[in-house]
Amino acid sequence: MNEKISIKDIANRVGTSTTTVSFVLNGKAEEKHISANITAKVLSVVAELGYQPNSIARSLRTGKSKIIGFLVDDISKPFFSNIAGVIDQAASAQGYKIIFSSTGSDKKRIKEILSMFKERSVDGYIIATAEGLEEEIGALVNSGTPVVLFDRYLPNIKSDYILTNNHGATFDATTHLIENGYENIAFVTIKTVQKQMLERLNGYTEALQKNGKKPQVLEINYQNSEQATLAIQKFLEAHKELDAVIFASNYLTMDGLKLSRFGKEKLLSGLAIVSFDDFELLEFIKPSITAIQQPIQELGEKVVKQLLKRLKADTNDTERETFNIDASLCIRQSTQKNTVRN
C-alpha cells in the first residue's frame, strides 16, 4: 500500500524540524541560513521517498502557487511553440509550472482564460497576444499582477518587455541582399498595427532608402493561408522586375512557398528569398532559404528571469524595463551571389 508522504516524515528521517524541511522545499535554505549538509540530506530523502508537495496547501500557506500563465496568440505557430519549450524548461528549473493557452483575438476567450488562471492562483503571466486585446492585458497589468510581455510591444501598457531587435534584423537582411547585388527587393507583410511587424517594415525601408533604392511592399489583409498565397501570386505577377523578396514572418514564407501547389513556383524560383524566423524546412529545400533567426533560447530565458525578478520583488511599482535582443542572419543558398535556381 502506498501511503502519502508528508513533510513530517521527511523531517523525522533527516532528524530536523518540519519548518527546516519546508524552507528547503521552498528554496529558502540559504536565506534562512540552513547548512548545505542539512539541505543536501533533505533533498536526498525527498528524492528517495518520491515526495510530491500538495500545491493547493502550499499555495494557501505561502500565498504562492508556483504556477505561471503563458498566453500567446496561437501556440501552434513555430515561434511560439519553440519559445514555449525554452520557457517551460527555464521555469521548471526554478520550481515553477507553466499553464499554456492560445487566446486568438477573441475577447471573450481571453477573459475566460484569465478567470481560470485567477482561480488557479497563478503567480504571474508571460504574454504575447493578438492585437485588439490591449484593454484586457492593460487591466491585468494595472491590477498589480506581475506580467512580462514578449514579442509584441503595446505602447500604452506599462510592463516589462522582452523583444527581438526587429528593426535591426530586417535592416541587416536587406543590406545583405543589396551587398550581394540585388536591386529590386520586395517586402511581404500584413496590414497591422503590431509594433514588431512595423519595426520589421521600417528596417527594410530604411536600408533601401540609405542605398538609394525604392521600397516595394505588399501588405496583406491577412485572413487565411490560401488568401495570402493568392495575394502573393498576384503581387509577383505584377512586379516582374523583382529579384529578391523578404517575408516578414515564417507563416508568410510558407504561404509564398505554397505557390507550388498552384503550379506557380517559378514566380519565386528566380528570386533571392529571406524569411523572418527560421524553421526546419528552409534548410532542406532547394535552394535552401536564408532566414533571420530570432534568439529563441535567449528570449525565453530572459522572459522567465525577468518575471521571477518581479515575483521576488516586494513591490510592483519599480520602473518597467525593456530589453531588445539581437537576431542573427543565417545565410543560405537563396541569397548568395549568382545562385543558380531551377
Residue 104: what are its φ and ψ, rounded to 5°?
Answer: 60, -150
What are the tens digits of pLDDT across the range 68-109? 999 998 888 888 999 999 999 999 999 899 999 988 878 888
What are the tens digits of pLDDT across the range 209-235? 999 999 999 999 999 999 999 999 999
Rg value, the chain, Cα: 25
What is the pLDDT, as a whole number, of residue 44?
A: 84
What is the pLDDT, as a whole number, of residue 315?
A: 57
What is the pLDDT, as a whole number, of residue 342?
A: 37
Q: What is the mean pLDDT of the chain?
A: 88
Amino acid at 309: K
What are the tens digits of pLDDT across the range 155-195? 888 899 999 999 999 999 999 999 999 999 999 999 998 89
What is the pLDDT, as a whole number, of residue 1?
A: 35
Q: Which residue has the higher pLDDT, 49 or 225?
A: 225
Map out the domains of the chain with their CATH numbers: 7-53 (1.10.260.40), 62-164+297-326 (3.40.50.2300), 166-294+329-335 (3.40.50.2300)
**What DSSP string runs through 273-304?**
EEEES--HHHHHSSS--EEEE--HHHHHHHHH
247-264 mean pLDDT = 93
What are the tens digits of pLDDT across the range 134-147? 888 988 888 888 99
